Chains A and B, each alone.
Chain A
Amino acid sequence: AQSVSQHNHHVILSEAASLELGCNYSYGGTVNLFWYVQYPGQHLQLLLKYFSGDPLVKGIKGFEAEFIKSKFSFNLRKPSVQWSDTAEYFCAVSLTSGTYKYIFGTGTRLKVLA
């Protein structure tokens, strides 16, 4: 069965530190990849997405992610985090054929200390 793994469940950083959140998926076919953010008490919002083309994707708020097909990975990065980035981050995969449903990772809670 397809699955998505986010290895870091909780991350605590100081402001201006660099961030990298891991995401790996298990599926041999073609996928679309997403990162969503959920600020405290709010709904999920799309940070960035990858369908095809340049494997380095830039999203909102200075976030970027790199798709490495050989590693089945789609890691999220930000060079310098801010206190306002405190949130939960979800990686999601959708298959490009058959179904459009997401397979979500378990999420990573990021806390940025001011």
Chain B
Amino acid sequence: DAGVIQSPRHEVTEMGQEVTLRCKPISGHDYLFWYRQTMMRGLELLIYFNNNVPIDDSGMPEDRFSAKMPNASFSTLKIQPSEPRDSAVYFCASSYPRGSGEQYFGPGTRLTVT
């Protein structure tokens, strides 16, 4: 298995632009999680899905952030408009929780907003 796939790996954009991050979970996993990692705040859970349905989006910082999961093999995290304080590494993770809920993380997208 290829593991969790994220694209792009690096994104540099200007303030005010729309940014879309993509994630392909491991086949057969029915939970998908989006995290943000910064030096100041550590690892934060933004939102997670079960069977393509958003379960908990309480970690989404504000209305500029939105996430979708149109099917079991694809999810997007969109920031519109982007701001410099959104600069972070965004990780996607998936899990197949029967028994453990162990999460498998993708390589992350490093976002820089100038």
Contacts A94-B101, A100-B31, A100-B95; is A43 near B56 (CB within 8 Å)? no
Assembly CA distance A49 to B50 (angstroms): 22
For A37-52 the 0/1 string (1 means CB < 8 A from B) is 0000011111001010
Contacts A43-B108, A101-B33, A101-B48; is A106 near B102 (CB within 8 Å)? no
Interface residues on A, range: 10 to 19
Q: Determine if A99 and B56 form an interchain contact, defined as CB atoms under 8 angstroms apart.
A: yes
Min CB distance A3 to B, Å, is 13
Q: Is B97 an interface residue (CB 8 A)?
A: yes
Q: Determine if A49 and B107 form an interchain contact, defined as CB atoms under 8 angstroms apart.
A: no
Query: Which residues of chain B are near A107, meaning CB under 8 Å?
Result: 42-43
**Candidates A99, A100, A104; contact of B43 at CB < 8 Å:** A104
For B17-50 the 0/1 string (1 means CB < 8 A from A) is 0000000000000010100000000110100101
For A13-56 the 0/1 string (1 means CB < 8 A from B) is 00000000000000000001010100000111110010100000
Interface residues on B, range: 20 to 34
Residue of A nearest to B59 (CB): A101
Q: Determine if A99 and B55 form an interchain contact, defined as CB atoms under 8 angstroms apart.
A: yes
Assembly CA distance A96 to B106 (angstroms): 23
21 sample A-B contacts, Cβ–Cβ < 8 Å, listed by A number? A32-B100, A42-B107, A43-B91, A43-B106, A43-B107, A46-B102, A49-B100, A49-B102, A51-B99, A94-B101, A100-B31, A100-B50, A100-B97, A100-B101, A101-B45, A101-B48, A102-B33, A102-B101, A104-B42, A106-B42, A107-B43
Chain B residues packing against A (C-beta within 8 Å): 31, 33, 42-43, 45, 48, 50, 55-56, 91, 93, 95, 97, 99-108
Chain A residues packing against B (C-beta within 8 Å): 32, 34, 36, 42-46, 49, 51, 90, 94, 99-102, 104, 106-107
